[in-house]
Structure 1
Amino acid sequence: MNIWTDLRDFFFPRLCVACGKRLLKGEEGLCLSCSSSLPYTYIYNKEGNEMEQCFWGRFPIVRASSLFYYTKGGNVARVLYAMKYHNRKRLCVKMGEWLGHALLPSGFFEGIDCLLPVPLFRSRQRERGYNQSELLAQGIARKTHLPLCNNALYRVRNNATQTHKSGYARWQNVQGLFRVTSGADCLKGKHILLVDDVLTTGATLVACADALSTIEGIRISIVTLAWAK
């Protein structure tokens, strides 16, 4: 028994980000009941799945997958909100571990050379204190043992939030949003996995892929924690 942990949980109880109930020992971010009710996509490594089809005609990708379906106001939405805005760093890593553990048996990570999280703008990351996609990628790395590459791509500007924009406006909002760094040369001929928290229209991920396409011989796959199908 860890007396300091017990005292912390007594005075500052840990609550489930989905239902608000007090968490038990061993639970992180989500209670067992809410964890077991999350809507899995089960697409994992299915070739030509509907998520991959979102990118057909936009950018050539090797494969794409997501762990959960996203619905407005649902438990997955609450998890994502906590990851982004409530400083739940451990939750970000845990969800990455969950994603990695679920997809690993399907062979989804075979042939991947490194994980590349979608970057935040510098001022946004300083304000938030972390990049949730990078922490998500760290969790995936713990399960897959794939290296992280977080110095090859950067965000040019702090674009306005995509949340309330139409599909067309989202695409306009991300034009020229990312650029590669001089360190991106190490990705020549590599198969990289772009990691983000949620896929909506795919505009941000395609903007990342467009910037990375300047690297000779690069191949790109995509994984997200959630998908707003």
Structure 2
Amino acid sequence: MKPLKDIFSIFFPDVCVNCQSILLRNEQFLCTICLNDLPVIVYNESTKNMLQNIFFGKVPVENVYSFLYFTKFGITQKLIHELKYKKEQNIGVFLGRRMCYEIERLKLFKEIDIVLPVPLHKKKLKLRGYNQVSKFGGVLSNYLQVPYIINVLKRVSKNESQTLKRRFERFSNADSKFHISDLEYLQNKHVLLIDDVITTGATLVSCCEELLKVKNIKISICTIAYTEIG
């Protein structure tokens, strides 16, 4: 007798998040063709400067890395939509593992002490049920062999969705919305701050401003994706 999961998959097969083709047994979330089309950011001096410039003159950061380009109706947008709104948390694992191959190849983040996620407000967390970067962060912390800490940096006011806001509105809307519950715990640490997507960088800058209240802290940033939104 076939396992219930196999019977279920006959009637409700898993399909590619991007093109909706039926996935083969060895495929997950994306078919092989779409996986090969995943828009991985080629990390070189140009893209390194592009990402660093988001934070230049605002907050000091050691390194900034984003794994994928995010474009409207593109593969990355579809994956992150499923991750955030369809409870497909294992997309975070799927992308995290692939990103770690790139980090290893590029020899990035060798001196990180702690991985911290950009926190959700408790009301949004209760509504969604999870932080979209939690499993992504778990993979990253396991690879780096450092703690993944969720209760030190907290969001103290509820943000409206940033998606449809214009650049200035997004940046001004992110001011002073975070709080550190334990300053001493982060002293003399190199923190890796993670999020799903960088747009203007406003939310990440706001997090960094709060983290910089800690004595002798260093901050690096890592996100699943980067997008340019005017």
**What interval of TM-score do these two structures reach, taking the shorter chain for normalisation?**
over 0.9
Q: Does the CA contact (< 8 Å) of 2:110 and 2:144 recur in 1?
A: no
Q: Does the CA contact (< 8 Å) of 2:48 and 2:65 recur in 1?
A: no
- C-alpha spacing 1:64/1:46, structure 2 compared with 1 (3 Å): farther
Indicate the residue corresponding to 1:109 in structure 2.
109
Aligned-pair CA distance for 1:48: 5.0
Q: Does the CA contact (< 8 Å) of 2:15 and 2:22 recur in 1?
A: yes
Tell me the matched-pair count. 228
TM-score, length-normalised on structure 2?
0.93
Measured in 1, the distance between the counterparts of 2:96 and 2:48 equals 23
Q: Which runs of 5+ in 1 are unaligned?
A: none
- Secondary structure at the residue paired with 2:40? coil
Q: Which runs of 5+ in 2 are unaligned?
A: none
Measured in 2, the distance between the counterparts of 1:199 and 1:33 equals 26
Q: Does the CA contact (< 8 Å) of 2:112 and 2:144 recur in 1?
A: no
Amino acid at match of 1:226: A
Using the aligned pairs only, state the percent identity. 34
Measured in 2, the distance between the counterparts of 1:102 and 1:8 equals 35
Indicate the residue corresponding to 2:127 in structure 1.
127
Amino acid at match of 2:187: K
Q: Does the CA contact (< 8 Å) of 1:43 and 1:49 recur in 2?
A: no
Measured in 2, the distance between the counterparts of 1:17 and 1:190 equals 38
Cα RMSD (Å): 1.9
- C-alpha spacing 1:192/1:44, structure 2 compared with 1 (3 Å): farther
2:220 matched to 1:207?
no
For structure 1, which segment, 60-69 or 104-113, has the greater mean C-alpha deviation from structure 2 after superposition?
104-113
Measured in 2, the distance between the counterparts of 1:107 and 1:74 equals 28
Measured in 2, the distance between the counterparts of 1:59 and 1:200 equals 16
Indicate the residue corresponding to 2:190 in structure 1.
191
Measured in 1, the distance between the counterparts of 2:100 and 2:111 equals 15
Matches of residues 10-159 of structure 1 in structure 2 within 5 Å? 10-43=10-43, 48-159=48-159
Deviations 1:157-189 (CA, angstroms, capped at 9, x unpaired): 22101111111101111111111113x421101
Q: Does the CA contact (< 8 Å) of 2:67 and 2:99 recur in 1?
A: yes
Aligned-pair CA distance for 1:205: 0.4
TM-score, length-normalised on structure 1?
0.93
